Amino acid sequence: MSIRCGGNCNVEARMRDELAINIDPIQVGGRLTPEAMKAIIAWGDGYSVCDNCRKPFRLDYIENPPLKDFHADVAEWLGMAQARTVPGARRGFQQVAEAYVEKGDPVLIGSLAHYTSYLSIEGRCGVIREIPKTEDNHITAEAAAERIEDVIREFGTAPKLLYIDQVDYQFGNIHDVKGIAKVAHQYDIPVLCNGVYTVGIMPVNGKDLGVDFIVGSGHKSMAAPAPSGILAATEEGAEQVFRTTKSSGDLTGRTFGLKEVGILGCSLMGAPIVGLLASFPTVRERVNHFEGELSNSKLIVEALRSIEGTKILSEYPRRHTLTRVDTTNSFDVVAQTHKKRGFFLSSALSKKGITGIIPGATRIWKYNTYGMTRAQAEYVAATYLEIAETNGLAVNK
Amino acid sequence: MSQRAADAVFQGLFSLTDIRYILRTTAPQHKLSDEEKQKVEKALASVEKQIAILRGELL
């Protein structure tokens, strides 16, 4: 019988990560540190972090818990002038789009971008123009330059903003953000770097990349609860996206101090912000050990590659732990005749205590090895080989 | 007001959280190394201590 979260509530205790190795591409980087789990026990109540909110009544000025220092530390860590928390990366995209994009304005976007990037432009009635990917699924500075020229020809003006993923969610490929930013700046186009799969996972420095904005995700890559994220900006960019209210009520004359318009005042309270805060020392340190994560990733990639018919669709050798794989000519061949059909793979993995791939997926699927111990990586690699051999697939050891 | 009882509740939950984390890093087989076993021993001792404090403070 499953354990429920007490009283009359109909919520089961979730034990996915206690009982199995999770390889869900979107979940692994957002799993909480023990510090975050403890902080949430203590600070999970709704407006808890507002206990000590004093003038000027803004989240990033609160000193206990140390949110003021946290905001400054995050900005410095990312090589940017200022940072704010946002309720998820998508709200960061939205905040930047709101500052720069007006109706009919062209905006350039890498064609591997997440749908929320597109929607943030649509929300401003901007006109989306994509930068095409290369055959090997990269967004390049050359392609960005060509598309900027295309936009100028079409609209008579350069794009108002350019979005580029540092690592995309489809292949986990690393893109030339620095080169793209250099090209964009030749046309005075501000650049938003989507660091959802990098901030909190691997070293990221906005100054080195030369970007105007970095957006990170707390719940995807910074060991924090959802919804949480970071929007960091250069000094010039900050003036646009973090502008403070100037309005007043026409009858009452009410004004609203230093509240920021883009995020409607304060962004995160309670569990999301204390989780982000409590995990930050670990997150700041863990990015320096990304090579170890890649080493674990390599172990599993090589195991999969050794199964005849399996192809790695992501760039190879891997430079990120999120990987897209094609098993149409291996596991899917088994699925054609297996009594569980396409569900045999997720079922076999589940029996061995591995979870996180979409049930039924045996053709093209993604996984993420981030956060595994070495022993867990070895176990996952061995399990894939075992499943392959058990089902009659050839393994080239 | 029993500050001691409140402290004990949090300390106990934090120690259990340390065990939870070890469950995660050793899943799915939960074969603990000597070092991990020591950490669990330490956490359990802490939990037992906090329970004793709570009995004394609240019952």
If DSSP states are collapsed to H, E and C, what string results for A259-317? Answer: CECCCCCCCCCHHHHHHHHHHHHHHHHHHHHHHHHHHHHHHHHHHHHCECCCEECCCCC
pLDDT in tens, chain B (59 residues): 899 999 999 999 999 999 999 999 999 999 999 999 999 999 999 999 999 999 999 99
Output the pTM of the full model: 0.97
Q: How far is CA A195 from CA A163, A166, A185, A240, in A?
A: 11, 6, 19, 20
Q: With 90 as the cut, is the pLDDT of residue A7 above it?
A: no
Q: How many residues does chain A have?
A: 397
Percent of chain A with pLDDT over 90: 98
The answer to whether B21 contacts A34, with C-beta atoms less than 8 Å apart, is yes
Q: Which of A19, A34, A38 sits opposite B28 (nearest CB)?
A: A19
pLDDT for position A286: 98
Q: What is the pLDDT of residue A305?
A: 98
d(CA B24, nearest CA chain A) in Å: 4
pLDDT of residue A1: 67
**The pLDDT value given to residue A310:** 98
> Which chain B residues touch A34 with a CB distance below 8 Å?
17-18, 20-21
User: Which two three-digit tokens encode residue A204?
Assistant: 């990221």
On the question of pLDDT at A397 being above 90, the answer is no
- Per-residue pLDDT of A8-54, as tens digits, reads 899 999 999 999 999 999 999 999 999 999 999 999 999 999 999 99
Our CA-based measurement puts residue A32 at a distance from the nearest CA of chain B, in whole angstroms, of 9
Find the CB nearest A17 among B18, B27, B29: B27
Q: What is the mean pLDDT of residues A257-283?
A: 96
Q: How far is B56 from chain A (nearest CA, A)?
A: 23
C-alpha distance from residue A181 to each of A142, A162, A215, A228, A334 (Å): 11, 9, 15, 26, 46
Cβ atoms of A83 and A92 within 8 Å: the answer is no
Per residue in A187-235, pLDDT (tens digit) is 999 999 999 999 999 999 999 999 999 999 999 999 999 999 999 999 9
Pick B23's closest partner by Cβ from A18, A31, A41.
Answer: A18
